Homo-oligomer: A and B are copies of this chain.
Amino acid sequence: MAVYLKNGLFDPFKEVQQHQQQLEANIGKGQYGASAVFIGSMRDFNEARNVSSMTLEYYPGMTESALEVICQEAKEKWPVLDTLVVHRVGDIQPNDSIVLVAVWSAHRGAAYDANRYIMEALKSRAPFWKKETTASGGHWVEKNTPA
């Protein structure tokens, strides 16, 4: 179970691969049958029409522990072998990856369910705040889109 905040670009597929190699080193190969990966990335349109960039503020300490609690809840609800969460903070450009959630389990149901649980909980409870920049200035995103 790992949670990382990244101030700067990250490659979600590299992160998943690296974590998966660690997982295989720890529990052996051939143990998980299902991996569900979700990547949220920055679009160039959102509440405002043309978003040129974005800043993600967070609460150092609380943000990490909120994400860890969420992943722990997922492990208690479903038979999950491992989880990985990576989230950007700081300045972000369109098309950058913002969030990565990966879940490994023996069967697909747990991987899908746990992954989505983590994403929904992250969206509603993890302390992150987006400020979008457009031609007319900056504004705080008021609320997250529902699933």
Question: Interface of A with B (CB < 8 Å)?
Answer: 13-14, 16-17, 24, 29-45, 94-95, 106-109, 111-112, 115-116, 119, 145-147
Number of copies: 2
Return the chain B residue nearest A15 by Cβ: B13
Contact B43 A31 (CB under 8 A): yes
Q: Distance (Å) between the CB of A67 and the closest chain B CB?
A: 17
> How near does chain B come to A18, taking the closest CB pair, in angstroms?
11
- The docked-state distance in angstroms from the alpha carbon of A145 to that of B33 is 11
Query: What DSSP secondary structure best describes chain A's contact surface?
Result: mixed
Chain B residues whose C-beta falls within 8 Å of the C-beta of A41 in the assembled complex: 32-35
Q: How distant is the Cα of A44 from the Cα of B31 in the complex, in angstroms?
A: 7
Measured between beta carbons, the chain B residues less than 8 angstroms from A109 are 146-147
Query: Bound complex: CA of A94 vs CA of B31, how far in Å?
Result: 9
Task: Report the separation of the CA atoms of residues A35 and B100 in the bound assembly, to the nearest whole angstrom.
Answer: 10
